[in-house]
Amino acid sequence: MALIIAEDVTRRHATGRGVEDISLSVRAGYCLGVLGSNGSGKTTLTRLVAGLDAPDRGHLSVLDAPSYPRPPRLRQRCGVSLDASAHWERLSGRQNLYFFARQYGLAQPTLGRRMDALLAEADLLAQADDPVASYSFGMRRKLSLIESLVHDPDVLILDEPSAGVDAPFLERLTQSICERGHRGKTTWIADNDPDWLARTASHAVLLDNGRIEARGRVPELTASIGARNRVEITLEQDDWDQKPDLAGIHEFHCEGNRIDVVLEDDPQLPAQIIQWIVAHQGRVRTMEIHAVTLREALAQRAGRQEVES
Amino acid sequence: MSPGNLLRLRLADAFADRRRVLLRVGVSVLLALPFLLVGMPARAQAAGIVMVILFTGFFGTAVGHVHLREGRYLERLSLLPVSRASLTLDLVLAAVLSRATPTALVLGAFVLVKGNQVTTGALLILAGQLCATLLLLTLLGMGMARLARSNAEVHLFGALTVGVLAVVSGVVPAPDRLAPLTEALAWNPIGRLIAVLVGLSDEKVGISPTEIGFASTILIATMTATIIRWVQGSGRKAEGFDSPDTRVLNATARVKEG
């Protein structure tokens, strides 16, 4: 059963940005990762799903009801953490968490146990009674995330959850989201970290300029790219146009003084490329090695779809 | 304090910082001090005190509400499974209660310094009109904050609104051509508040049954709403929704196991 269904959803801002003709569905137990560059429409779409804004056109339903306006009974089944974490700064983290937990109907003694467990999970137990004003950016983000999880919602909607939080908490969040999925609970994540989304989401969509460029199941997408690395090389000279004839290179793009190479996950290959460039009178200024991510897999799929169409 | 609803949360926030409380009370008292201590006609003194209440009551609420909107607190509150009416009621009650402390102090000082033969009835009317004035200013301040796009606009339009309120309520002398308007609006709480203050210093408070009834109704309604919402925000189980306790207990156990 799909808990989130979007059919030709469009919402435009006065600036012209927004989302256009978005159609998707997220079934119970799935975790959808929404990827896209800044301004691609991730937050606009997330706000629509959260029930903060109404679509200009199209139909969007969450939990079998129109997404906007959302009645209190359905709001109780959703947990939302937006990119800006508004907290009452003079009050402690525990007081802020208590307020949200109470609004979602939790009462003692469950509430106390649940709060302590989540504060411990976010590594905030020691600072729980300090005013939020004394918290760092990452601590506020973690507090905001556990506030959205406190009532174990059927639909969890997170906007940029990986921004500013530490790696151990992100791992625990991944476990928590996967475990939610096994219990049939749905999660929506708009984020910019493809590596984390690849570990967390079951499905992914790539947004570009307000439209869905590509979509797919995460295991299939990661299998499609295999174990590959992307190497970015910056040269001293900007007239380079030679391609190395080495085995294991899948893509090689050269533009000005910048070279982009997609290659097999062989630790020797980057060094061999540099040696080859130096041997052909190239002068290397910098080199960066990245694992090929979910974003590239989606971009690749988008490119293939374009060619097919 | 454990803030179980927005009323408790706002009050806990308003009184959490001692410096902020002292500033709020101190500014009202300092602004009102000249009208309490300097010799001038009773009407001028009462007008000065009411202007202090107008400015602190209106701007305090309006600026605070813009902060809630710009800090995206209102957006966050709108996602909670709580009706908009409950949220608005809590915001209004919290604003009235936090403004009532400094204004009650100022009015108390006025009664002590200028009051003549103060009766219980006169004090009841004074408290009722103060409560009604603060409710009116809170609602106007929140409305203004909704319309204005920034704090600068709130200050600009707020100054105009307070000026208009002062004129139509008879706090400051109105031009003759506005006399019909001021007479028609003389019943408004701000107009009545200044009339009660002038009466208290002149021993001429008109204690009519209508005025007693109005003051009692406003006070009882406000106190009842406050007590109900305060109790609802206590640690008791929330009503009206299916309890998520059992499934949350299971989730908590899983968190601990993890």
Q: Which residue of A has its CA nearest to B71?
A: A86
What pLDDT score does A238 carry?
84
CB–CB of B12 and A95 under 8 A? yes
- Chain A contact for B1, CB < 8 A? yes
> Cβ(A207)–Cβ(A41) under 8 Å?
yes
Read off the pLDDT band of A221 (50, 70, 90): confident
Q: What angle do CA B87, B92, B98 make, to 5 degrees?
A: 125
Kindly provide the residue ranges of all beta strands, DSSP E only, lying in chain A, ordered along the sequence: 2-12, 18-27, 31-36, 57-62, 65-66, 78-81, 155-159, 186-190, 203-208, 211-217, 228-235, 249-255, 258-264, 284-291
What is the tens place of the pLDDT at every residue in B159-174? 999 999 999 888 888 8
DSSP A33: E
What pLDDT score does A136 carry?
96
What pLDDT score does A47 carry?
95
What is the tens place of the pLDDT at every residue in A30-79? 999 999 888 899 999 999 999 999 999 999 999 999 999 998 999 999 99
pLDDT above 90 (res B209): no
CB–CB of B13 and A152 under 8 A? no
Chain centroid offset of residue A100 CA: 24
What pLDDT score does A15 carry?
84
CB–CB of A102 and B254 under 8 A? no
CB–CB of B2 and A103 under 8 A? no
Model pTM score: 0.84
What is the tens place of the pLDDT at every residue in B120-150? 888 999 999 999 999 999 999 999 999 988 8
> Cβ(B171)–Cβ(B51) under 8 Å?
yes
From the CA of B62, how many Å to the nearest CA of chain A? 18
What is the tens place of the pLDDT at every residue in A23-39? 999 999 999 999 988 88
Considering only residues A297 and B104, tell me which one the structure prediction assigns the higher pLDDT.
B104
Read off the pLDDT band of B257 (50, 70, 90): low
What pLDDT score does B242 carry?
41
DSSP B176: G
Q: What is the average per-residue pLDDT within B59-63?
A: 93
Structure ipTM = 0.86
Read off the pLDDT band of B243 (50, 70, 90): very low
pLDDT above 80 (res B237): no
Please state, for a pLDDT cut of 70, what percent of chain B lies above it: 89
| Interface test with chain B among A110, A134, A183, by most B beta carbons within 10 Å | A110
Considering only residues B211 and A19, tell me which one the structure prediction assigns the higher pLDDT.
A19
